[in-house]
Amino acid sequence: MKICVVGLGYIGLPTSLLLANAGHTVLGVDINSNIVETLNRNQLTFKEPGLDELFEKAKKNFQPSNIIQSSEVYIIAVPTPLENAIKMANLDAIRNASDAIARVITEGQIVILESTVPPGTSEHLILPILRENGVKNIYFAHCPERAIPGKTLHEMVHNDRIIGALNPESAEKVKTLYSSL
Ligand SMILES: NC(=O)c1ccc[n+]([C@@H]2O[C@H](COP(=O)([O-])OP(=O)(O)OC[C@H]3O[C@@H](n4cnc5c(N)ncnc54)[C@H](O)[C@@H]3O)[C@@H](O)[C@H]2O)c1
């Protein structure tokens, strides 16, 4: 499948490379130009056991970019830091990523949220933005990532995943995608 991973950090980059290694065509999008340029120079942006070897195997199917493109699947892996002052997660990056996807999404495409978010974020923030341009038939699931640094690749492949989906069709499509890992 053609997959766009939005956010190439500790979660998004290993996810991109695992999917690329599984044979998918992966566009990795990040707003940080340094990250995109470093990856395009064939250098990794952080260390993680097994990531070097995976990058070598997967990079032919992986394109880092600052620019989002229409894709069959979008995976949101942007930061959601806790803001102590308001005792809430800062959802600005989620809002911006959703805006970017809304500009390119078309009917029948799949959006997966992997970021850690408070209850209600999918229903009240992300889905209304994704539908802003009149696209009605979107498949959507929240599949929060739970990998621990130092074991990220092993956990991403071997941990059970929880898929909270908009409807049974979304759940089946997302299950099929993650099964490819
Ligand atoms: N790191 C972990 O071990 C871990 C584990 C479980 C869950 N999570 C969750 O996963 C999510 C991502 O965490 P992370 O550690 O990968 O964060 P990170 O800060 O390492 O990476 C996030 C990346 O997203 C990019 N970004 C921000 N806004 C963007 C936008 N609008 N469009 C494109 N890219 C954008 C940033 O430049 C950054 O490179 C968070 O919600 C976090 O809570 C992280």
Q: Quick check: 110 and 73 in contact, CB under 8 A?
A: yes
Going by pLDDT thresholds of 50, 70 and 90, the confidence category of residue 110 is: very high
Q: Residue 80 has which token pair?
A: 């959601």
Q: Whose CA is nearest to atom 39 of ligand 1?
A: 9
Please report the sign of the dihedral spanned by the C-alpha atoms of residue 83, residue 86, residue 87, residue 90: negative
What is the average per-residue pLDDT within 36-65?
A: 97
- Position 89 scores a pLDDT of 95
Q: Residue 46 has which token pair?
A: 């952080």
Q: Is the pLDDT of residue 40 over 90?
A: yes
Nearest CA to 136 out of 164, 156, 108, 115 is that of 108
- Position 10 scores a pLDDT of 97
- Position 2 scores a pLDDT of 98
Number of residues assigned to the chain: 181
pTM recorded for the entire structure: 0.98
- Position 128 scores a pLDDT of 97
Mean pLDDT of all residues belonging to the chain = 97
The predicted-structure confidence for 122-159, as pLDDT tens digits, reads as follows 999 999 999 999 998 999 999 999 899 999 999 999 99
- How far is Cα 100 from Cα 129, in angstroms, rounded to an integer? 10
Q: Quick check: 21 and 91 in contact, CB under 8 A?
A: no
- Position 94 scores a pLDDT of 98
- Position 86 scores a pLDDT of 84
Query: What's the gap in Å between 10 CA and the centre of ligand 1?
Result: 7
3-class secondary structure, 46:
coil
Which ranges in the chain belong to alpha helices (H)? 12-21, 33-40, 51-58, 92-104, 121, 127-130, 152-158, 168-179
Domains and CATH numbers, the chain: 2-179 (3.40.50.720)
Q: Are strands 62-65 and 110-113 parallel, antiparallel or unpaired?
A: unpaired
Q: Dump the DSSP string for 124-172.
A: IIIHHHHTTTS----EEEE----PPTTSHHHHHHHS----EESSHHHHH
Q: Is the pLDDT of residue 104 over 90?
A: yes
Q: What residues does ligand 1 touch, defined as CB less than 6 Å away?
A: 6-12, 29-32, 35, 77-80, 93, 96-97, 115-116, 145-147, 149
Nearest atom in ligand 1 to 13's CA: 16
Nearest CA to 66 out of 40, 99, 30 is that of 30
Mutation probe of ligand 1 site: the residue of 4, 5, 10 with most atoms within 8 A of C-beta: 10
- Position 146 scores a pLDDT of 87
Nearest CA to 114 out of 150, 155, 74 is that of 74
The predicted-structure confidence for 68-86, as pLDDT tens digits, reads as follows 999 999 999 999 999 998 8
Going by pLDDT thresholds of 50, 70 and 90, the confidence category of residue 180 is: very high
